[in-house]
Structure 1
Amino acid sequence: MYDDSSRGLESPDTTDASTVSDQRLVADGGTTWGDLTGFQRDTLEAIARLEHDDETSYGLAIKRHLEPQYGEVNHGRLYSNLDTLVERGLVEKSAFDKRTNEYTLTGDGRRLLRQRVERLADTFEIEIGVTDGGRNE
């Protein structure tokens, strides 16, 4: 299992011309990849996976995606981290029904994840194919 701080690969102290120029990975709202805990990063990924699979990204669905990595995820941990992601402008919260909220990535949240993927791909010299019709958010 992972703790909240063990998921990030921090920027190296030195760079070369082959690395992505923006080492900090900043969403337009000013939040950097390093500003987030590992749990928050994994929560963004879980929401992205649910959206990709055309599933509703409500709390219990997000929790199911996180539990293989973290074991039992309690209510307080999940929802306080979702609230933080909403406050940082990376996730939008809306009413799905009277008892359930839906969480979706904002453009900033999607950009932050995309920047991370591009940085990792560059690190390992992996080409990323365009699968979204070439649109950037």
Structure 2
Amino acid sequence: MSEGVLHWRVRREFLILKIVATLVLATITVLTLDDLRGAFLAGAATVAAAVLALRDVLAPVRLSADGEGLVVVKGFAGSERLPWSVIERVRVDTQTRFTSRTELLEIDTGEGIFLLSRFDLGAPCQEVADQLRSLRRGF
């Protein structure tokens, strides 16, 4: 990527929270070894939290952009380079259910859609979409 690269990444606070949750759940697993069901559930939760924390360690930057295009996280910790020419649309998908509002940044290539949340980006989705649109227009 060239100069003027923008990066959006998982906030460090969320990574620390996931690591602490993994340690707490591992402790609960050990303390409940005499209760097979409890230990199994706590162990499964420990593994899930550890996997989420590991992904944040391996691929903390979920989206990068420059004048040539985007690099988007793909799979567990891989990434894919998307030139601006293949990107058909960048928009924010907002869903409201009961009192909860969810926003996802949607990057549509025609052949696939990449969805990133505020937690993936460390910033509001609409703010990122606006920055991407202005960067794309600037080149």
Q: TM-score, normalised by structure 2?
A: 0.25
Q: Which has the higher strand share?
A: 2
Higher alpha-carbon Rg? 2
Q: Which has the higher contact order (CA 8 A, sep 6+)?
A: 1
